[in-house]
Amino acid sequence: MAKRKASVSIRECVACGCCIKVCPRNAITVPHGIHAVIDRELCIGCGKCAKECPASIISLEVTEE
């Protein structure tokens, strides 16, 4: 079944961490302060991070799993 997962545009991420706070699954981290990383195992594709991201660089991608 097709699922949606959040995906970060790494190059444009400012590593502010706004997404960390809104994620209901604690699936987001910003390791070494460089860019956000989403744990795709935990992500449920709710889109809260994409909505919150001040740079609007998180999108929801459809994955076949």
Q: Which is nearer to another protein, 4 or 59 (CB)?
A: 59
Nearest distance from C-beta of residue 64 to another protein, angstroms: 27
The 8 Å CB, 24+ separation contacts for 10-14 are 10/35, 12/55, 12/57, 13/55, 13/57, 14/54, 14/55
Contact pattern from residue 12 through residue 31 relative to another protein, giving x for each residue in contact according to CB under 8 A and a dash for the rest: x-xxxxx-xx--xxx---xx
Q: Which is nearer to another protein, 2 or 33 (CB)?
A: 33
How far lies 30's CA from each of 33, 38, 64, in Å? Answer: 5, 9, 26
Give the residues lining the site for another protein (CB under 8 A): 12, 14-18, 20-21, 24-26, 30-34, 51-57
